[in-house]
Structure formats: structure tokens, C-alpha cells
Copies of this chain bind each other. A is one copy, B any other.
């Protein structure tokens, strides 16, 4: 199989068993410490649709979804992620997932009635990177509300778009994910061969998940899509009106990577949610991989607006199959924050721009304005 992953010296073995045929990221199960506060955030603020709920859990979906949910909020003692869940093409692909991870020596757990409401036969695994992954096919169908404009708010979320995971060794993660059938679409690296992040997909968008280099395993964010950019701006406006602007962490802005318009906000537990719109089709097997220089100051924000440090450093814990938080392992490679911001790092607006520029700015054109 061809690979677009960077070389790794610590590869996870490729199973001989066939990988499951994964359709798409389908839902995340989030443990939250105050279910009412989280309901206010995801339902009242963001307008996700409640498929069903009880005193311990709320099942939420987007406007265009026809499966039972895209997000489960479950009351628990420690804020964390209980599952990154993918839908597979057939019931047999659940068997394949189970066998594939068992060959890797991973702990797996199969439940024919599912781990959460609305989902049938599923397998959960502790994957080689330490993440709780789930695979299922059987799911309860619910009404696709795409035409129910009477239910749309001005910032309506229409699809689950992707997950984003923090892991110390990005090339290692990429090779494993390629074995699992994912394709890399974009990445960030430097001229020394250090890889800082990579995006990978099953459905033909820029990603179903991304691997962000850092201390992990942790969950960086979960992303929902809107139809248009003004929907995202409205969410900001509404958060201002509710005097929740301190929960807007970064953005809105235009990503370099993915070319999408984005916003990052923080839920009551600090789980990061991205609102995202308008990336591009990636479904051809020879889809060109877009490779960004870590020092390109437009890679993370096309307009050069600074990435706040918390965005690099903060992330959510993930749980093992017993519900305990996985220990976090430090990244050994250089951190993207260190090599791009502040005393040790540098960035440029124009490659090769040194000792003066078109605009009479200092060499390298790094926009320092937003920092004290």
C-alpha cells in the first residue's frame, strides 16, 4: 500500500487481518461533570437536537443527521472522552475491527446491544495510541431534520465533521491510521523532518480525525459543520450577548490547513468544540497531499492571527475501557508552539522574506501585534 505518512522509527505493526471499512466519524461520547450546564451549552447555545435524554445522559444530533446521535453527554466524575466512534460499512466490519485490534494486542470489548442508546452491536478498543475507539454499523434511524427550517437557529450545526486527537508521535500515529484505511490529506512539518500535525480522512472531506503532536493521548476537539460562515459569526455574537465571550478560545478565522472557516469554543468542562465550514473534496485516491511548513504563519490561520497558547497546551483526558483516565505521555519532539511563537520560535508571512519586506516590516514578517 502506498503511504503519505512521514517515516517513523517506532512503527506499530500492520495486522495481517483486513481492516474494517470505516465510513465516517459518527459520534463522540463525552463525560461531563455538570449535565445541566452542558445541556445549556450544547442545546440552548448551540442548538443541537435532543434525540433522547435521561438523568444521566443526553443524546444529541445535528440537523442533517439520520442516525440516532452525533454526541453523547454523560454525567461523570471527571471530564473526559469515553469514545471516538466510527460507523463502518457493514455488520461484518465490526467483526473485522475486533479481529484487527486483537491482532495488535489491544484490549477490546464487544457489546451486541451497544454501549449507548440507539447503537447496536459495537466493539470498543483501547487503540495502540491509547484512545478509546468504537466501531459500529447497527444504529437507530431518526428523522433527518434537514428540511425542518422551523427548527434551525441562526447558527445551526448541520453535520458532525471531525475529531482531533493529541498524541506525542505523529508519524507513528499516521502509519497506524493508514493501516486502518485512512488517507492523509494535509500535514505540518519542518525542514528537519519533524511532523507537528496531520489530517486524515475516510469520507471525502479533509478529515474524519487529525493527529496533533503533543502530550497524549488526549482529545483536542470535536468539530461540527455549519452551512455558511455567517452561522459561525452568529454563534460568536450570541456568546457575546450571553456574556460568554470568555469561552471563545480562538477565532473565528480561516484555516490555512483545510481552507475551512473555523471557531473554537470551550464547553463548561473545557472540552473544546470547533465550528467549521467549507473545506474541499478529497475523495480521489491521488488527492494531492498539502504539506505546510511549521514556520508559515498562515498555516493555522490564513490571516496570520495568532494561535493562543491554550489552544496548543490544553486538551481533554480520554478514558480506558474501565472508565479510568489514561495517563498522559509527554511529546519528545519539538512543540509547534515553541518553534513558532516567542523567544525560541519564528514564523514568516512570506517564505524567504528576510531583512525587510514589501511592507517595510521587520524581517520574516511575523505579526507580533496580538502579544503584550
CA separation between A286 and B67, bound complex, in Å?
Answer: 10
> A interface, how many residues as a size bin?
35 or more
| 13 A–B pairs (Cβ distance < 8 Å), ordered by A | A24-B284, A146-B280, A149-B237, A153-B154, A203-B204, A228-B229, A233-B254, A240-B254, A240-B302, A245-B304, A245-B349, A246-B349, A371-B371
Q: Assuming the A-B contacts A152-B234, A234-B149, A349-B246, are A370 and B367 also in contact, with contact meaning beta carbons closer than 8 angstroms in the complex?
A: no
Query: With an 8 A cutoff between CB atoms, is A194 at the interface?
Result: no
Instruction: Contact check, B250 vs A237: say whether CB atoms are below 8 A apart.
Output: no
Alpha-carbon gap, A60 to B350, bound state (A): 29
| Chain B contacts for A241, CB-based, 8 A | 147-151
Q: CB within 8 Å of B: which of A265-280?
A: 266, 268, 270, 278, 280
Map CB proximity to B onto A292-312 as digits: 1 under 8 Å, 0 otherwise.
000001100011111011110
Selected contact of A303 from candidates B248, B303, B367, CB within 8 Å: B248
Most buried by B among A147, A152, A287: A147
With contacts A66-B287, A243-B298 known, what are 12 further pairs, Cβ within 8 A? A66-B284, A151-B241, A152-B154, A154-B154, A203-B281, A244-B359, A245-B298, A246-B304, A266-B359, A308-B369, A311-B369, A370-B370
In the complex the two chains form, what is the Cα distance from A266 to B237 in whole Å? 26
Establish whether residues A359 and B254, one from each chain, have CB atoms under 8 Å apart when the complex forms: no
Is A173 positioned at the interface, with any CB of B under 8 Å from its CB? Answer: no
As for how many copies of this chain the complex holds, the number is 4
Could you say which residues of chain B place their CB within 8 Å of the CB of A23?
283-285
**A367 CB contact (under 8 Å) in B233, B245, B341:** B245
Using A283-B23, A371-B372 as known contacts, say yes or no to A147 and B349 having CB atoms under 8 A apart.
Answer: no
